[in-house]
A and B are shown apart, each in its own frame.
Chain A
Amino acid sequence: DTAVSQTPKYLVTQMGNDKSIKCEQNLGHDTMYWYKQDSKKFLKIMFSYNNKELIINETVPNRFSPKSPDKAHLNLHINSLELGDSAVYFCASSPHRELYGYTFGSGTRLTVV
């Protein structure tokens, strides 16, 4: 009955590989997000989708491509991984009226070697 679930929890991969992180929410929320948390714990928005439509795309390399097959899922695909992509990636969701805060997944720790 996890509200926002991400898989995998840990991901170790070599430079140059392509990988995906999956996110699913069962809260019926309209909006989903990807945040990146760097080694200093700073959280930065990457993407936001509302009802499968991209509404926010921050300054993120185009090697990162989000995909939302339906409003309950928001996946993150990363091409040609680089060392600097190592971080914890958090998925989150919120109702359309963003007055209620976001519900976060438990994060995916990506390590590029």
Chain B
Amino acid sequence: AQSVTQPDIHITVSEGASLELRCNYSYGATPYLFWYVQSPGQGLQLLLKYFSGDTLVQGIKGFEAEFKRSQSSFNLRKPSVHWSDAAEYFCAVHSGNTPLVFGKGTRLSVIA
């Protein structure tokens, strides 16, 4: 069965610093990979997705992610974090007829 691991439960970065959130997946073939963001008290918003092709994908709000098959990873990055980026971030994987399977999330705190 497919699974997603987000090794970092909580990350704190300074405003303006770069960010990388880690995601590893377990699946035999090439999965469909997603990153979602959840602001406090809100639903989940899709940041970006990967299906095939270019392994570096661009998303909304200045985020990007890179698919690395050899490492079974799909890490999320942002070059300069803004205070409004503080939220919970979820990596998710899906394939075929199975529903989205989410990682346990990484909480991002941003300090001045």
Contacts and interface: CB of A to CB of B under 8 A. Distances in A.
Interface residues of B, number: 22
Interface residues of A, number: 23
A83 interface: no
Interface SS majority for chain B: strand
Given A33-B99, A102-B100, A104-B44, A43 B32 contact: no
Interface of B: 32, 34, 36, 38, 42-46, 49, 51, 88, 90, 94, 97, 99-102, 104-105, 107
A98 to B, nearest CB: 6
Interface string A73-110: 00000000000000000101000001111111111000
Interface of A: 4, 33, 40-45, 48, 55-56, 90, 92, 98-107
Given A101-B34, A107-B42, 10 more contacts: A33-B99, A40-B104, A41-B105, A99-B49, A99-B51, A101-B49, A101-B100, A104-B36, A104-B45, A106-B42
A102 B93 CA distance: 12
Going nearest first, the 4 A-B pairs with the smallest beta carbon separation are A104-B43, A106-B43, A43-B102, A104-B44
